[in-house]
């Protein structure tokens, strides 16, 4: 009896907290500002993407060329311009190309995607489901991380989600008589194509493929052929093309045939079919996604079991749509040769709503029976166990790290640092004073979680999980990341390069380097991209003084071959997992 009373009391509490759309939206807004925006300028832009994208935007602003992007002084055809326009605008708003200015657009669009997820969850199920789903999305590790980095994918995810949201607001009004009487329904649906166009201007053809794929597959499964007709594909795609071609035609006119071939084939068709970069096996995402959607991955088996337990009633159209959204995007990227974890971000709102609806059923259902209990109990206990292990590890790892590298020096004393030791080296920069609060919080939450579950405080369990991720992520971005910044950032080596060079000197980079970070932090454009030994010999036999960045193992190879060129070591520093030497010919 006590248990039932406690659970009913919990339901009343959570209903009071979660009632009122404006209250929910304001809570989500403040939570995202706290999680994604506060302090994101406290550490530098890190490879591989952040400084490169920042440099493209800066060269765009410096050249006053808002049509054709450039990197290292050369035409940049890898991505469309919308994201770089936003970074450029952000630089005007926030006083230059600072870390905060570069990360502000992803943080903003990450926040807007969380709010969109709320509206979609509310449309499909209820406002409480929307609220829970939004918190789940905001506290999934990969989504939160990419919303605080200068990456394109949170912006892409917003526009693809906005497009899908427009489809959902249109679809319930698809009947002829309702559509004719309500012009707003048609207006909303054209937002579907506008969202696709803006997504395409953000990251290329994938921006229109994903929403179109989700909607057409869903209507096909429903055998709603009339719905497909009423999508007005021809006028919609004309609108889409007009928006995209307003940029693309001037860009091709300026960039010429080479730019057309690069953007249309190399970075789209060729990248998908052949995977000339980031090549991974088909099963890559089956291993990668569960880790990146933590801690909520642990509840996906419960979602599946709960859905199957209601199979006699039939799978609801709401869940079917979310399933199509998730599976179609998952398989689309699994079939691509080139794969990165960030590519899956557009499916995160769908899986968040699935898990959010599962939690809503658990919180509101006082008669959740014992057979279903394992669907929620097992992941909660597993999560508590992982938190306790993490707390213990946070105490032991700095001890191990202190034996592997001297945290107070930037000079190298041995051979190339192995990638496997990188994590320990990062943490060697963090003192116990920084770790202690994190350790206490993680251990405390790991202990409180199973206790709250045993006492049947269901809403408290959910909020504890959100709090755990929120505190962990906030602490990492505000304290851990700034501490390891000297190890990760190219800024420190770039400052040393500027001090060593004089006006008229040239800088080159030999093999295996991303040039963008050093363009950005040295301000040198162009940097000579040296890709072969012959080019290196020619560069170093210059009568002028030249400098070159080279990895330690490449330097050893050149010395062994005795190419007859002077290679004087000026400086050396560890940047990420690379042993980098600055060498000169004089």
pLDDT of 181 reads 43
User: Does 77 or 308 have the greater pLDDT score?
Assistant: 77
pLDDT of 183 reads 47
Does residue 369 surpass a pLDDT of 60?
no
Query: How much of the chain exceeds pLDDT 70, in percent?
Result: 82
Question: Which CATH number fits the domain that encloses residue 516?
Answer: 3.40.190
With H, G, I as helix, E, B as strand and everything else as coil, classify residue 75.
Answer: strand
pLDDT tens by residue, 154-168: 999 999 999 999 998
**String of DSSP letters for 120-169:** HHHHHT-HHHHHHHHHHHHTSHHHHHHTTSS-SHHHHHHHHHHHHHHHHH
**String of DSSP letters for 409-462:** --S--SSPPPGGGHHHHHHTTS-HHHHHHHHHHHHHHHHHHHHHHHTT-HHHHH
Average pLDDT, integer, range 507-514: 86
pLDDT of 314 reads 64
Q: Where is average pLDDT lowest: 99-113, 142-156, 325-339, 451-465? A: 451-465
Does residue 14 surpass a pLDDT of 60?
no
pLDDT tens by residue, 317-346: 888 999 999 999 999 999 887 788 889 999
Q: Would you state the structure tokens that stand for residue 128, as one six-digit string?
A: 């409480």
475 and 501 share one domain: no
User: Does 340 or 83 have the greater pLDDT score?
Assistant: 83
pLDDT of 459 reads 85
With H, G, I as helix, E, B as strand and everything else as coil, classify residue 548.
Answer: strand
Average pLDDT, integer, range 483-497: 88
205 and 280 share one domain: yes
Does residue 305 surpass a pLDDT of 50?
yes
Cα 25 to Cα 47: distance, rounded to the nearest angstrom = 34
pLDDT tens by residue, 249-288: 999 998 888 878 777 755 565 555 555 456 678 888 999 9
Categorize the per-residue pLDDT at 8 as very low, low, confident or very high, splitting at 50, 70 and 90: low
Q: Name the residue among 143, 113, 130, 141 with its Cα closest to residue 357.
A: 130
pLDDT of 104 reads 95
Domain end call among 471, 489, 507? 489
431 and 509 share one domain: no
54 and 186 share one domain: yes
Average pLDDT, integer, range 219-248: 88
148 and 20 share one domain: yes
pLDDT of 7 reads 52
Q: Name the residue among 571, 506, 516, 580 with its Cα closest to residue 540.
A: 506
Average pLDDT, integer, range 221-241: 87
Average pLDDT, integer, range 70-86: 92
pLDDT averaged over every residue in the chain: 82
pLDDT of 412 reads 38
pLDDT of 93 reads 93
Paired with 572 in beta bridges are 581
219 and 347 share one domain: yes
Considering only CA atoms, give the Rg of the chain.
Answer: 26
pLDDT tens by residue, 525-570: 899 998 888 888 888 888 889 999 999 888 888 888 777 788 888 8
328 and 382 share one domain: no
Q: Name the residue among 162, 184, 183, 167 with its Cα closest to residue 222.
A: 167
305 and 181 share one domain: yes
Q: Would you state the structure tokens that stand for residue 449, as one six-digit string?
A: 């979680």
45 and 118 share one domain: yes
Cα 200 to Cα 267: distance, rounded to the nearest angstrom = 13
Q: In which domain, by residue range, is 184 found?
A: 2-364
> What total number of domains does the chain contain?
3
Q: Would you state the structure tokens that stand for residue 417, as one six-digit string?
A: 């640092």
Q: Name the residue among 405, 68, 6, 401 with its Cα closest to residue 247.
A: 68
Domain end call among 320, 338, 364? 364
Dihedral, 87, 92, 93, 96 alpha carbons, nearest 10: 80
Q: Are 314 and 123 in contact (CB under 8 A)?
A: no
Cα 70 to Cα 65: distance, rounded to the nearest angstrom = 9
The helix (H) or strand (E) run that includes residue 578 is strand 578-584
Cα 41 to Cα 57: distance, rounded to the nearest angstrom = 17
Average pLDDT, integer, range 461-473: 88
Categorize the per-residue pLDDT at 21 as very low, low, confident or very high, splitting at 50, 70 and 90: confident
Phi first, then psi: what are they for 54, rounded to 5°? -65, -40
Cα 214 to Cα 164: distance, rounded to the nearest angstrom = 8
201 and 267 share one domain: yes
Cα 558 to Cα 534: distance, rounded to the nearest angstrom = 11
Domain end call among 330, 364, 398? 364
User: Does 332 or 180 have the greater pLDDT score?
Assistant: 332
pLDDT of 271 reads 56
pLDDT tens by residue, 30-74: 999 999 998 898 999 998 789 999 999 999 999 999 999 999 989
406 and 461 share one domain: yes
Helix ranges (H only) for 262-315 are: 271-273, 284-292, 300-309
164 and 124 share one domain: yes
Give the predicted TM-score (pTM) of the model. Answer: 0.87
pLDDT of 17 reads 52
Categorize the per-residue pLDDT at 3 as very low, low, confident or very high, splitting at 50, 70 and 90: very low
């Amino acid at each position: 009896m006590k248990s039932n009373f406690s659970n009913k009391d919990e339901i009343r509490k959570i209903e009071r907290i979660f009632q009122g759309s404006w209250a929910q939206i304001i809570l989500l807004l403040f939570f995202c500002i706290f999680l994604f925006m506060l302090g994101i300028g406290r550490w530098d832009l890190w490879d591989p993407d952040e400084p490169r994208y920042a440099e493209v935007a800066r060269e765009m602003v410096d050249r006053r060329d808002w049509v054709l992007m450039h990197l290292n002084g050369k035409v940049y055809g890898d991505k469309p311009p919308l994201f770089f326009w936003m970074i450029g605008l952000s630089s005007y708003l926030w006083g230059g190309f600072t870390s905060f200015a570069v990360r502000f657009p992803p943080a903003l669009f990450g926040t807007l995607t969380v709010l969109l997820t709320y509206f979609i969850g509310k449309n499909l199920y209820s406002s409480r489901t929307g609220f829970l789903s939004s918190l789940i999305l905001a506290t999934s590790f990969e989504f939160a991380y990419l919303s605080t980095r200068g990456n394109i994918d949170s912006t892409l995810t917003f526009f693809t989600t906005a497009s899908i949201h427009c489809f959902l607001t249109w679809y319930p009004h698809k009947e002829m008589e309702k559509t004719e009487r309500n012009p707003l329904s048609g207006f909303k649906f054209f937002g579907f194509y506008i969202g696709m166009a803006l997504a395409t201007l953000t990251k290329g053809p994938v921006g229109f493929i994903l929403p179109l794929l989700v909607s057409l597959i869903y209507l096909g499964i429903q055998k709603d052929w009339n719905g497909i007709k009423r999508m007005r594909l021809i006028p919609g795609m004309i609108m889409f093309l007009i928006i995209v071609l307003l940029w693309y035609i001037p860009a091709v006119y300026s960039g010429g045939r080479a730019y057309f071939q690069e953007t249309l084939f190399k970075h789209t068709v060729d990248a998908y079919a052949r995977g000339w970069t980031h090549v991974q096996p088909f099963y890559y995402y089956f291993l990668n996604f569960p880790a990146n959607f933590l801690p909520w991955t642990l509840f996906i088996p419960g979602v599946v079991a709960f859905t199957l337990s209601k199979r006699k009633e039939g799978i609801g159209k709401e869940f079917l749509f979310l399933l199509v959204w998730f599976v179609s995007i998952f398989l689309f990227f699994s079939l691509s040769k080139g794969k990165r974890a960030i590519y899956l971000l557009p499916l995160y709102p769908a899986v968040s709503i699935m898990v959010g609806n599962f939690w809503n059923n658990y919180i509101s259902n006082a008669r959740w029976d014992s057979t279903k209990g394992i669907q929620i109990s097992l992941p909660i206990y597993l999560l508590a166990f992982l938190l306790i292990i993490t707390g213990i590890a946070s105490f032991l790892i700095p001890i191990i790290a202190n034996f592997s590298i001297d945290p107070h020096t930037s000079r190298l004393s041995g051979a190339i640092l192995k990638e496997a030791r990188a994590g320990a080296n990062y943490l060697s920069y963090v003192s116990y004073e920084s770790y202690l609060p994190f350790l206490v919080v993680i251990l405390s939450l790991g202990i409180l979680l199973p206790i709250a579950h045993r006492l049947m405080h269901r809403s408290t369990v959910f909020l504890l999980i959100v709090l755990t991720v929120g505190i962990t992520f906030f602490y990492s971005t505000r304290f851990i990341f700034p501490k390891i910044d000297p190890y990760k950032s190219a800024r420190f080596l770039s400052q040393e390069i500027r001090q060593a060079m004089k006006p008229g000197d040239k800088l080159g980079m030999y093999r295996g380097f991303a040039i963008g970070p050093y363009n950005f932090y040295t301000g040198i454009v162009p940097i000579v991209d040296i890709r072969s030994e012959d080019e290196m010999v020619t560069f170093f036999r210059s009568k002028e003084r030249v400098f070159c960045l080279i990895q330690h193992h490449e330097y050893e190879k050149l010395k062994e071959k005795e190419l007859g060129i002077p290679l004087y070591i000026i400086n050396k520093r560890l940047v990420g997992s690379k042993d980098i030497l600055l060498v000169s010919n004089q």
